[in-house]
Amino acid sequence: MNYFNLQTILRPHIQSLTPYSSARDEYTGKEGVFLDANENPLGSTTEADAYNRYPDPHQWAIKEKLAPIKGVQPEQIFLGNGSDEPIDLLVRATCKPGSDNILIMPPTYGMYEVSAAVNDVPIVKVPLTADFQVDTDAVLAAITEHTKLIWLCSPNNPSGNLLQAGAIQTILEAATQSLVIVDEAYIDFADTLSWTGKLADYPNLVVLQTFSKAWGLAGLRLGMCFASVELIQVLNKIKPPYNISAPTQALALEALDHEVEKNDMVRQILAERQYLAENLRTLPGVQVVHPSDANFLLVQFGTGGSNIEPDAKIVFEHLIDQQVIVRDRSKVTLCAGCLRISVGTRVENERLLTVLRHMNNAPVTTDLPLGTGGEATKPELVSNA
């Protein structure tokens, strides 16, 4: 990794950019009469008079609490408005529109491609192998001097599996002129260590995680990016100054006191994943339930013949008729006939299974509750204080 030099990967104008300097950047003290940010001194128009001041632009309280949990330094953390924000910022920091490119391995998460497309950045696609693993030789052959970002999603969405560590390591070691991003949105559901443990070994490594899945905070919009201090400084330079709102920061701080409950929910979801997979495998219409290291299952329907796509579509439409909504992935590379099904509560999973079991018979008329569920089995929060 001696050859990696972040400065040569950044777009030149980003290297020399002078960032916006906010009022909270220029005076960081907590006490005083604050007449520097044109805020409303009287309070907020909400019940809680809590939001009239701008939030910490660098979210230090969260980073200090998160750093020991993740085994990194606070300066190695970037927090974004969802993972979407660091995904977009990485493209904008490194890729010259029209000429530099990003490399993705379909089937994978759609935002890598969308962020590149929004920025007019070409996309090089090297599909995963039939068992959803990295085609290492093909990836190495596809990398050029213009390849700035290589996106790996592990566990992968929509296939659900972890990518082999050996393949990721090979790419990290070979791609010395690129950033290699490992998106670990589903890491809490996998029986493996995070790549954050390898940040010191690979300066081209970037790890993404999120509060949206295991932490149960998709509505907050809070994504984590771990990388070298040098790269995090660049992301800080180009982000909107106050990208994480005050209520989001307050709630994330609270959530970090409840890691035990997060782990309890993960255990329950893993047990349900097993239950759901076992039961789906007994259904005649189900061809394959792909092994999952995440909180969802990729399930192949159909006859296994040459034209299996319509079958998945019929199952999908039938589920919708019965108010069970899953994701149709049947048009995606390597996913013909496949639906992606999130693991629900026991009641929700039973509802799904019942509808599928009755597909060719009478309509389902059970009184099983609809809605988002989960409330009944969510662990009680206990304060760590």
Rank residues 100 and 183 by Cβ distance to ligand PLP and give the closer one.
183
**Interacting span for ligand PLP (CB under 6 A) from 91-99, 212-220, 336-344, 374-382:** 212-220
CA distance 284 to 263: 34
Report CA 299 to chain centroid distance, whole Å: 21
Is residue 106 near ligand PLP by the rule CB under 6 A? Answer: no
Nearest distance in Å: CB 203, ligand PLP: 23
Our finding on whether 160 is near ligand PLP (CB under 6 A) is: no
Q: Are strands 147-153 and 101-104 parallel, antiparallel or unpaired?
A: parallel
- Which residues, listed in sequence order, are joined to residue 342 by a DSSP beta bridge? 296
Nearer to ligand PLP, 84 or 113 (CB): 84
Identify the DSSP state of 198: G
Residues 6+ apart with CB under 8 A from 355: 318, 319, 322, 324, 364
* Residue 212 lies near ligand PLP (rule: CB under 6 A): yes
- Asked whether position 233 contacts ligand PLP by CB under 6 A, the answer is no
CB 201 within 8 A of CB 245: no
115 binds ligand PLP (CB under 6 A): no
**φ, ψ for residue 86 (rounded to 5)?**
-60, -30
Q: Which amino acid is at 58?
A: H
To the nearest whole angstrom, how small is the minimum distance from the Cβ of residue 213 to ligand PLP?
A: 6
Stretch of 36-44, 62-70, 80-88, 135-143 lying at the interface with ligand PLP (CB under 6 A) = 80-88
Q: Are 226 and 69 in contact (CB under 8 A)?
A: no
Nearer to ligand PLP among residue 83 and residue 196 (C-beta): 83
Residue 230's SS3 state is: helix
- Alpha-carbon span 357 to 280, nearest angstrom: 9
The residue number whose beta carbon is nearest to ligand PLP equals: 82
Closer residue to ligand PLP (CB): 24 or 340:
340
Q: How far is the CB of 249 from ligand PLP (least distance, A)?
A: 16
Q: Binding to ligand PLP by residue 255, rule CB under 6 A?
A: no
Min dist. Cβ of residue 140 to ligand PLP (A): 23
Nearer to ligand PLP, 138 or 218 (CB): 218
Q: Which is nearer to ligand PLP, 115 or 287 (CB)?
A: 115
Using CB under 6 A, count the residues that bind ligand PLP.
13
Choose, by CB under 6 A, the member of 55, 57, 74, 223 that binds ligand PLP.
223
Characterise 139 by phi-psi region: left (phi > 0), alpha (psi -120 to 50), beta (else). Answer: alpha
Sign for the CA dihedral angle at 242, 234, 151, 191 comes to negative
Q: Give SS3 for 192.
A: coil
Distances (CA, A) of 323 to 45, 314, 351: 38, 14, 10
Residues that bind ligand PLP (CB under 6 A): 82-84, 109, 153, 157, 183, 185, 210, 212-213, 218, 223
